[in-house]
Each structure stands twice: as C-alpha cells, then as structure tokens.
Amino acid sequence: MTDERLNEAVGANIRKLRQAVNMSQTELASHVDESFRQQTILKIEKGSRPLKLTEAVAIAEALSVSVEYLYQPDVEPAEKVSQVLRQLIDTAESARASIASLEYLRRSLAFLVEKHAGELPAQLREHADDWAGDSLASDVAARGVRDFEDSPIGRGGITAVHTDPRAAWGDETDE
C-alpha cells in the first residue's frame, strides 16, 4: 500500500470512528493538543496530511481504540468489531476490579473510622465519613469489631489490594 493510500485509509478510519461516537472534528482536535485545529483533523481524514505517531496515540485514546486499529484499513468489519469488543471486555474487567477494590477500601475506611472514632480529630473523621458513606459505615458497624479484626486488613496482613472485598470480609463460603 502506498503512503497516499495508507493516509486515506487511516483518515477514513478516524472519520468513521469519530462519527460513530458523535464527536466533532473540533472536539477530536482538542484531545490531541491545545494547538491542534479542526482543519488539521479535516486534512488527516481526507488523507492529505500524514498522521504523526504522537497524534495517532492521542486520537486513538480519544476514540477508545488502539493505534493499531487506526492503521488497519483492510480489516473486515467483523474483525474490527471483534477487536473493539476485546478491548471493551479488557477495559470492563479492569474497571470491575477497580470498583471492587474501591468498595473494599471504603468498607475498611468505614470500619476504621467507627472503631477509632474517639481517637480521630473531628475534621479527619468528617472527611473520612464523607468518603465511607453512611450505608457502608452501617454495614461495617453491623458486622462488629471482631469481624474486622479477623480479616486480613485487621491483622495487618494486606500486602496488595484485594480485587474481591468479599473474600477479605468473609462474605464468600469456603469450598
């Protein structure tokens, strides 16, 4: 494939992806660089201006695809869908793990605030309560201090963030 045809194919991919997410050329340009203009995106999409690597990275990130995806003009639609689906699944799994870690840390914070309420400065307690939330604090309080002391974090045995807080809190049945 010639450079000219590659530029046209990459530009067409960018235009299709941008339109699929209802993003204007101006919005896409703002993701690349503050000095990047809508006219530059127009030229890239027409294939009259080659895409620099740093621009490709920023555009791919803004469009939630890989840089490699931008440069695959001859890939069948089913393969493109499959690639994006794989990226979506990977991202969802990562997000799920992050959410589980967040919930585990919120529960831990709620418990610690409840357990050491009298020892904490008022401003710290208030800030911690905001992060822990009433429903989480109620959940931890219902479990009691003993449940937490028997958990890995209560024993000081946490060396990495758990992706499944239920395991540390004893919510899963042993198999």
For 84-113, what is each residue's pLDDT tens digit? 888 888 888 887 788 778 788 888 888 888
Closest-CA residue to 82 (of 67, 69, 93):
69
End-to-end CA distance of the chain: 57
Choose the weakest-confidence range: 18-22, 35-39, 90-94, 144-148.
Answer: 144-148
Rg of the chain on CA atoms, in Å = 25
Q: What percent of the chain has pLDDT over 70?
A: 72
Longest Cα–Cα distance in the chain: 72
CATH superfamily to which 3-74 belongs: lambda repressor-like DNA-binding domains (1.10.260.40)
For the chain, give every residue range classified as CATH 1.10.260.40.
Answer: 3-74
Q: What percent of the chain has pLDDT over 90?
A: 26
Question: pTM higher than 0.85, yes or no?
Answer: no
CA distances from 35 to 40, 112, 152 (A): 10, 48, 50
Please name the amino acid found at residue 116: H
**Angstrom distance (rounded) from CA 105 to CA 99:** 10
